[in-house]
Amino acid sequence: MAKQEPAMPRSRHDLLTLSLHWLTALLVPLAYLAIQVTEMLPRGALKTQVYTAHQTLGVLVLAVTLVRLAWRPFAPKPGPAEMPGAMRQASTAVHVLLFLGLLAVPLLGMLTQWLRGRGVEMFGLFALAPPFAADRPMARSMKEAHELLANALMLLALLHAMAALFHHYVMRDGLIRRMLPGRDPGAA
């Protein structure tokens, strides 16, 4: 009888996880950039378009995050990354906070628009209409929370990216490859 090879753990995340990760890493800074540009532009058609782009990019972040979280329990996992226990705990905590931010920031943005009595503009093609009545003071609070958490999310993402680069250039432990495409003898 043929001898069974011992199973080798995967060394990378699967292609779907990988694609959704890098899509998020592209969409979040773009959404952030779009609102900064919106603020700088004078009133007019271009300002409205860039503002619409901000909302569209933000809703896409939410959609991608929901797909990612739904896929996560089924995703074939790579073996645990080799690092000291405290570092692993810090990394897990940052990942959880990133996921919370990826959900909360777009949701608070949508709530802001809806509480202002406006729709959430998608691609300039259609709007997600407000499901409840406008409430201006509440909209102002949601906007404050949206802005605060958006800035926190950007800082956390920066910290996360710097940690990944630290692993790559200083610790030289190959951790970044877990989120990059390539050969994986552990993948079935």
Binding site for ligand HEM (CB under 6 A): 21, 24-25, 28, 31-32, 35, 39, 54-55, 58-59, 61, 72, 81, 95, 98-99, 102, 105-106, 109-110, 112-113, 120, 143, 146-147, 150-151, 157, 160-161, 164-165, 175-176, 178-179
Neighbouring-strand partners of residue 121? 127
Closer of 4 and 182 to ligand HEM (Cβ): 182
Closer of 162 and 188 to ligand HEM (Cβ): 162
Closer of 2 and 62 to ligand HEM (Cβ): 62
> CA-to-CA distance for 99 and 176, rounded, in angstroms?
19
What DSSP state is assigned to residue 78? B
Closer of 41 and 175 to ligand HEM (Cβ): 175
CB of 125 to ligand HEM, least distance (A): 15
CB of 167 to ligand HEM, least distance (A): 7
Reference 14, options 97, 56, 74, 66; nearest CA is 74
CB of 77 to ligand HEM, least distance (A): 9
Q: List, in order, residues 6 or more apart from 117 with CB less than 8 Å away.
A: 130, 133, 134
Q: List, in order, residues 6 or more apart from 54 with CB less than 8 Å away.
A: 31, 34, 35, 38
> CA-to-CA distance for 164 and 166, rounded, in angstroms?
5
CB of 4 to ligand HEM, least distance (A): 28
Q: Tally Cβ neighbours within 10 Å of residue 4.
A: 6
